[in-house]
Structure 1
Amino acid sequence: MHSIERHVDPDSYRKVIGRFTTGVAIVTTRVGDLDHAMTVNSFTSVSLDPLLVLFCAEKVARFHAAVLEAGVWGVSVLPASMEDASRYFAHRGRPLSGQLARWPHHRGESGVALFDGAIATLEAATSAVHDGGDHSIVVGGVTSMDMPADGAPLLYHEGRYKRL
């Protein structure tokens, strides 16, 4: 692997990478009786054989430790109508207890919370965790999936929520 020399300003990098429009999802996990949730735009399909997906979690986030301990996680791909949930689960330090109460949800086969209003949901079992600088790249094998609701997706572009 080649070492990377920094010739790029991090603020400029954020602006450039922000031009890549992404969808928005909430990743959930459960440790004991406590639900953990985090908004992500770093979710993607990896492989069709086997079925693999990934998301990236910041190493200092409490979600990071929880998802690694649990070994299972859910993904709820958000419609434009759930921007409020995306904003809520993007904030650090919110109380964990009762945090899902405002949004209808159900338990997947692995016990993780999945949002009823999501345009797509899936559950995954962690199969690999890779170093990604200040984040970990969490790869999981898909164990279930569904399309519980219809709607236009919530998008994120240039630091702002967008709609189709």
Structure 2
Amino acid sequence: MHQGSIENEVDEAVFRKVTGRFATGVAVVTTLAGGVDHAMTVNSFASVSLDPLLVLVCVEKIARFHDAVLDAGVWGVSILGRDGEEASRAFAKRGRTLEGQLDLWSHRRGRLGLALFDAAIATLECRTTAVHDGGDHSVIIGGVVSADTPRDLPPLIYYEGRYRHLRALDD
């Protein structure tokens, strides 16, 4: 298979509409670089492998979080429940002040010293095992070091450019 450049034959607006039809969960990814907490909202997170346990996250190369997470080599994932929209919006804002950005959000330090949100419905901590070029993003693969499901709520969903909520299974 030839891996050359890909010509854009699809209009970007159409592409965004098509990919927006894929419902995703929402997570806040954290890292600790130079003693400073960094955090970013993502919906490009996925499991990759069960043997070994691997997950991936895609990070835009121009994001401040990009260099921090690559330098740190470790990252945490807090998967948000239906009550996590405010946190998601907060950590999606570009250019926010780093100092004290986690002060409003109850969190604990995981095994690797990373911030994991108390309000998360699931958490992971990972060590970076590979980084792949993904156009304007880097695809960061991480080996899972810890995993937990601290709360039992339906997930926060992002679909067609809007936050959505699933009803609890017993609703």
Once the two structures are superposed, the pairs formed by residues 7-156 of structure 1 within 5 Å of their partners are: 7-156=9-158
Partners in 2 of 1:20 and 1:5 — Cα distance? 23
Partners in 1 of 2:63 and 2:90 — Cα distance? 15
Partners in 1 of 2:124 and 2:137 — Cα distance? 22
Structure 1 unaligned spans of 5+: none
Partners in 2 of 1:17 and 1:32 — Cα distance? 35
- Give the secondary structure class of the aligned counterpart of 1:3: coil
Question: Could you state the TM-score of these two structures normalised by the residue count of structure 2?
Answer: 0.94
Structure 1 position 89, deviation (Å): 0.2
The number of aligned residues is 164
Partners in 2 of 1:54 and 1:106 — Cα distance? 22
Q: Percent identity?
A: 66
Partners in 2 of 1:118 and 1:89 — Cα distance? 14
Structure 1 position 103, deviation (Å): 1.1
Structure 1 position 32, deviation (Å): 2.4
Partners in 2 of 1:105 and 1:26 — Cα distance? 12
Structure 1 position 3, deviation (Å): 3.3
- Give the secondary structure class of the aligned counterpart of 2:22: coil
Please tell me the residue identity of whatever aligns with 1:84.
Answer: E
Question: Could you state the TM-score of these two structures normalised by the residue count of structure 1?
Answer: 0.98
Partners in 1 of 2:4 and 2:132 — Cα distance? 17
- Give the secondary structure class of the aligned counterpart of 1:93: coil
Aligned to 2:169: none
- Give the secondary structure class of the aligned counterpart of 1:141: strand
- Give the secondary structure class of the aligned counterpart of 1:47: strand
Partners in 1 of 2:77 and 2:145 — Cα distance? 11
Partners in 2 of 1:2 and 1:61 — Cα distance? 26
**4+ residue runs over 2 A deviation:** none
Please tell me the residue identity of whatever aligns with 1:36.
Answer: H
Root-mean-square deviation (Å): 0.7
Partners in 2 of 1:3 and 1:99 — Cα distance? 39
Structure 2 unaligned spans of 5+: 167-171
